[in-house]
Structure 1
Amino acid sequence: MSIRSRALPALATGLLLTATGCAASAPAAEPALAAAALTTETAPAAPAATAPSSTDTRAAAAPTAAVAAPATAGEPAAGTGRTVSLVAYDPASGHATLRTGNPGHAKNPGSTGTPASTGKTPAPSRTTGAPHGPDATASASASAAPDTVRTGQLIASPPTPAAPRGALVAVTGVQKTAGDEVEVTTRPAEVAELLGATATEQHQAIDVHGIRVQPLVKDLKVGFTTRPGGGNGSASAQLSLDAGTSVPLPGGAKADLAAGIRLSPSVDFSYDGRGILKGGIEKARVGFGLGAHADWKVGATLAASPNPLRVPLAKLSASPVLTVAGFPVVVNLDLTCYLTVGADGKLTVEAEQDLDGAWSVHADYAKGKGWTTTADPGTTTVGPVRAKLSGDATLRTGLTAEASVGLYDTVGVAASVEPYLHTRVAGSVTLDTTGKPPHVEGSWTNTAGLDINGRLYAQIKILGTPLLKADLPLPAFHREWPLPSLSTTH
């Protein structure tokens, strides 16, 4: 881990980036916004974008899904040369409606919400094994009769209005219908059934133009900025979120909070099935990386509180599609951002601060060793501060982001990555670490830290690996380091 301070990092009003709550199978296991809601009344959240219905989406154009025979004899699945559109899907019952007629040239949304980029982001990858997926002739065959979809075949679908997080299923029954649609029953399929003896290792930056943004605070400004040193193209962009709000506090007080966040998320997927005939896949990985820059302002008179105040800002989701052996593999990433502030005594604060960081979390499987969870503490860089503080308390403020990562919405790794800072003030402090000398009457001490915790959910059957008996905890990581402190009058 690398920890750097660009200047006297007096009040790093801590950016907390917490990755928790990935549901392995059921949406109810995702981070519950209600559980994280403020205990005091906040300004009403902006209307949330709603996800498309999964029960009747026939009128909407959908990206095509690959139809394939399951992997056999150590080979990847054999593409049939045909594609269908998944126009309705009920994961609970497994019932689906497929359109076998020409689905048109609908854009692959990647994730619903803000419009997806029409460009494709190249991803560093290494794939071993001959491609057996759909080829250029697939679109010409898309108008085939419904009986071309047969029991036992696999349907690998990128995100569609009917399945916003993608779908990988095996057909268990077929019922012909009029026109170009066919009703089928399905069961969840395993990635190993699709990829077989293929080997791939991919790291892909998410095209932030395709991230769905659900505002959780009024007047949230959503935009895109160029990543420092990123050049041109969708992979060089960052998602920017800017918000300001006034939050009621107990006793009739209020806190004025503002934050600007720049996010650069990425996903990782590895799979090696070359030893599948010798007792299972060799290895697998699913994970995410998050680069972030944050700056914020806090103005409040705080009283002692056992927990910091959490103000939800936005919920983000994306389902980037990786191509492996010609088939779509969908990785789901969710992220929820909060602004936090709290103190263990009475304290008046007016502060500005910024921070940069990059962290990653993975779940890894290796044959003979089973599953392990890995966290890379990455880098944390604290920037200059401007602040006025008075009182006798320890201040903790910052930004929280909760994230989850999985495949086809069925496998998940959860982690909490929390850079933080405690600022202890006894008296009054005026700071401007851009060059002006501080003024301190009393004492002022600072400690920054980083905590990483998490778990891998036990429901991991989709990868074709042995099931865990229980959730697997991430080895806890904790580190603190002192920041410059002052006392007496200067």
Structure 2
Amino acid sequence: MHRPKLKRHALLTAATLAAVLITGCSTNSPTTTDPAARAAAETPDPAAAQEQLAVVSAPSGTATPTAVADGGEGGTAKKSSLKVASYDRKTGRAVISSPPVPKPPAAPSTSASLSPTEPTAPTPPAKPSTSPSASASASASASTQPSVSVGDFIASAPAPGAPDGVLAEVTQVVGATEDGDTTVDTEPAKLNSVLGESKAKGTVPVDPSAMEVEPLLKGVKVSWAKTGDLHFGPEGAKLPLGSLRVDVGAAVATAEGAPASAAASVEGFVQLAPEVAFSYDGSGDGTGASPGGAFLGLSGDWASKWSLKGRAAGSTNGQPIRIPFAELHSDPVIQVGPIPVVVNLDLTCYIQVNADGRVTVDVEQDIKGDFRVGGTFSWAKGWTPVSESEMTGDPLKATVTAAGDVKAALGAEATVGLYGTVGVTADLAPYVRAHAEASAEGSSDGTGSVTGTYALYGGVDLTGSLQLQLTIFGTPIFQKKIPLGALNREWLLTEGKGEASTTGPPSTRTRTTG
């Protein structure tokens, strides 16, 4: 009865043995008969020569990201489960915490399952790899091992004691704390230490809701809009996504002797959608000591609508009167591959008036455009400034009384840096300037009456500099600040002469490049 089953089993066993032998032969074969497969195996991946890292916003709502580069490998840093538990910027001392080591499972007891009448079998000697005591010893040994070594590089997002993030090299392992963390001494490091020979390029928008705003004048109002969470400005209009708007209405110093009806004031808003631009090329000059290219900058869309009324006071000691009305700060973290790069961004919005104290104005301007400022590095030119701005202005109202000059700006001064060091400063000041030789009145539709001559101009001033701290990329040190250049572009808004009606304003588009 059982012979058919035995025969069938024998056939299966033979087939299985044959399959094993065939597989073993093919596995041990030193060559392959497929020329395409052999060529693919022998041809290196061209992307492996220089890794391209993505530049994106760091995910929100997650634990503080950290990356560690092994000083012995000299390669790109890798994402790490280590965290900077504390950091002292003055001394460079840091405490590095490791994730807790899971406890090994308890060995099951076999004595309880044996029957009292059953003989107890001799217990075989325990293997070291599976012994609970050996596992405990291994865990204890692992917990006493330092989490980092001398020469390692650490890049961390903001952490306790380090609101600007950490980019440092471990110079000494001091020892372990009572909690099993590792205390180390560090010194500041360069980005090329963790980015290695990789490449990265991208532009990341700054979340307007994450910006800290400190009003400096009464009546300052702040509104913003981000994807999926619209906020409304004081005038009830929806803001473009990603925009931050600051409204201000403030009195400015009135010229001495001016009547009460000529009290001077500025009212309006600044709206911008800032973005951080970052790029890095680790190809170097062939030696691998420094990167071949880098860029850090700030760009974005700009809009402002504001008015200047009254007879503003003259300048102070020949300098314009500047009135800051809001300070803004943000530390956005951009993820360059596995590496968290902390960008420090500060903005100061201000009103600036330069007047001779003679002219009384009632002017209003609507201006829009974009800007891009920063510093770029190449081995051929070193560090060079980048400054671009394209603005379009329209006069909404223009009344100029008496002869004189006045220039008023509603602008923003920005600083951009990495890990707490300032790299780029820029001052973007869209302005309106009025000049009159007598008395004049105009309007936004280009009509009005004049006595004498007057002209109303729109313009933009862009100044700033590159700082020594941009060498954080690992590039050669430059010995002084490099100015962005005092860029100025001005366009005619409207003008008039004699007792005739004026014509409409000419084209108001301009472009500035650096």
TM-score, normalised to structure 1's length? 0.70
Residue number in structure 1 paired with 2:171: 172
1:222 aligns with 2:227: no
Residue number in structure 2 paired with 1:255: 264
Deviation at 1:300, TM superposition (A): 2.3
Deviation at 1:298, TM superposition (A): 2.3
User: Residue type matched to 2:320 in 1?
Assistant: P
Separation in structure 2 between the aligned mates of residue 370 and residue 217 of structure 1, nearest angstrom: 42
Residue number in structure 2 paired with 1:326: 338
Separation in structure 1 between the aligned mates of residue 483 and residue 327 of structure 2, nearest angstrom: 25
Residue number in structure 2 paired with 1:92: 90
TM alignment of 1:357-376, pairs within 5 A: 357-376=369-388
Sequence identity of aligned pairs in percent?
A: 34
- The structure whose residues are more often helix, as a share, is 2
Look up the SS of the partner of 1:278 in the other structure. Answer: coil
User: Residue type matched to 1:241 in 2?
Assistant: V
Say if 1:259 and 1:339, in contact at 8 Å, map to a contact too: no
1:422 aligns with 2:427: no
Q: Which of the pair has the greater relative contact order for Cα pairs under 8 Å at 6+ separation?
A: 1
Say if 1:271 and 1:283, in contact at 8 Å, map to a contact too: yes
**Computing the radius of gyration over CA atoms, which structure comes out larger, 1 or 2?**
2
Residue number in structure 2 paired with 1:355: 367
Residue number in structure 1 paired with 2:248: 243
Separation in structure 1 between the aligned mates of residue 377 and residue 489 of structure 2, nearest angstrom: 27
For structure 1, the 5+ residue unaligned runs are 1-60, 103-142
Separation in structure 1 between the aligned mates of residue 344 and residue 361 of structure 2, nearest angstrom: 39
1:400 aligns with 2:411: yes
Residue number in structure 2 paired with 1:335: 347
Say if 2:153 and 2:170, in contact at 8 Å, map to a contact too: yes
Q: 1:145 to 1:200 in 2, by over 3 A?
A: farther
Deviation at 1:70, TM superposition (A): 3.7
Residue number in structure 1 paired with 2:451: 441
Look up the SS of the partner of 1:430 in the other structure. Answer: strand
Deviation at 1:177, TM superposition (A): 1.4
For structure 2, the 5+ residue unaligned runs are 1-60, 101-141, 231-238, 502-514
Separation in structure 2 between the aligned mates of residue 145 and residue 287 of structure 1, nearest angstrom: 44
Residue number in structure 2 paired with 1:286: 296
Residue number in structure 1 paired with 2:279: 270
Say if 1:449 and 1:481, in contact at 8 Å, map to a contact too: yes
TM-score, normalised to structure 2's length? 0.67
Q: 1:77 to 1:302 in 2, by over 3 A?
A: closer
Q: 1:219 to 1:369 in 2, by over 3 A?
A: same
Q: 1:73 to 1:371 in 2, by over 3 A?
A: farther
TM alignment of 1:13-32, pairs within 5 A: none
Deviation at 1:430, TM superposition (A): 3.2
Separation in structure 2 between the aligned mates of residue 93 and residue 185 of structure 1, nearest angstrom: 8
1:472 aligns with 2:470: no
Deviation per residue, 1:159-209 (Å, 9 max, x gap): 245322222111222332122554332110110110101100111121111
Say if 1:146 and 1:181, in contact at 8 Å, map to a contact too: no
Separation in structure 2 between the aligned mates of residue 314 and residue 440 of structure 1, nearest angstrom: 38
Q: 1:235 to 1:221 in 2, by over 3 A?
A: closer
Q: 1:384 to 1:479 in 2, by over 3 A?
A: closer
User: Residue type matched to 1:420 in 2?
Assistant: Y
Say if 2:247 and 2:269, in contact at 8 Å, map to a contact too: yes
Residue number in structure 2 paired with 1:162: 161
Deviation at 1:262, TM superposition (A): 1.0
Deviation at 1:277, TM superposition (A): 5.7
| Number of corresponding residues | 381
Q: 1:446 to 1:207 in 2, by over 3 A?
A: same
Deviation at 1:225, TM superposition (A): 4.1
Deviation at 1:303, TM superposition (A): 3.9
User: Residue type matched to 1:394 in 2?
Assistant: D
Residue number in structure 1 paired with 2:58: none
Q: 1:180 to 1:257 in 2, by over 3 A?
A: farther
Deviation at 1:407, TM superposition (A): 1.5
For residue 298 of structure 1, the aligned residue among 301, 305, 308 is 308
Deviation at 1:439, TM superposition (A): 2.8
Deviation at 1:421, TM superposition (A): 3.3
1:382 aligns with 2:357: no
Deviation at 1:226, TM superposition (A): 7.1
User: Residue type matched to 2:191 in 1?
Assistant: V
Say if 2:205 and 2:275, in contact at 8 Å, map to a contact too: yes
Q: 1:246 to 1:472 in 2, by over 3 A?
A: closer
Residue number in structure 2 paired with 1:460: 470
Deviation at 1:71, TM superposition (A): 6.0
TM alignment of 1:7-156, pairs within 5 A: 63-70=63-70, 75-79=75-79, 81-84=80-83, 86-100=84-98, 147-156=146-155
Separation in structure 1 between the aligned mates of residue 398 and residue 490 of structure 2, nearest angstrom: 22
